[in-house]
Structure 1
């Protein structure tokens, strides 16, 4: 019974890693090639290959060691590379506001 619960938890963890890698692969493929160079990161081709191999490992091999290595690469892309690409590409989700804008407009301490 304990092994059955462990297998189901491991299966959910594996599915979560697969979805996370697919999302990262989509973001890498959708980004512009010149944004990678401007952000001083590895090339688009490098990241698409790494994340594609991660997706393939999660789908077909299921070897936990390789899945965890792919998870590390996916986390690096999502935490380091993707925000740098957004800054370079003019994205970042700020919709044109400055860093001192609050939810109702600029906040400058009454100045």
Structure 2
């Protein structure tokens, strides 16, 4: 019985960490100007804002409505990957433009 409690706790922590990552990426995407995205040669600000915002909404709804993992599965993974791509590629490029 204790094993399932540990597993449940680990999954809850992972779920919360991924929500924080998506929220951070979304808020970060909103802080840069549209011109910065164009100058960096990345997708537009509305595109990144939409992608990351939908990821946050889906993740939050999955948590609040307690949707089964299969419901949010492939979309959840896609939005998580998008958040990590933004943080690893787009955000550093945008930061590089503003430091000059």
Query: Shift of the alpha carbon at 1:68?
Result: 2.1
Alignment of 1:78-97 (within 5 A): 78-90=87-99
Structure 2 segments unaligned to the other structure (5+ residues): 64-71
Residue 16 (structure 2) aligns with: 15
Which structure has more RCO (C-alpha within 8 Å, separation ≥ 6)?
2
Residue 41 of structure 2 aligns to a residue whose secondary structure is: coil
Residue 77 of structure 2 aligns to a residue whose secondary structure is: helix
**Distance in 1 (alpha carbons) for counterparts of 2:58 and 2:5:** 23
Structure 1 segments unaligned to the other structure (5+ residues): 92-111
Please tell me the root mean square deviation across aligned C-alpha atoms, in Å. 1.4
- TM-score with structure 2 setting the length: 0.83
Query: Shift of the alpha carbon at 1:57?
Result: 1.1
The alignment covers a number of residue pairs equal to: 91
- TM-score with structure 1 setting the length: 0.75
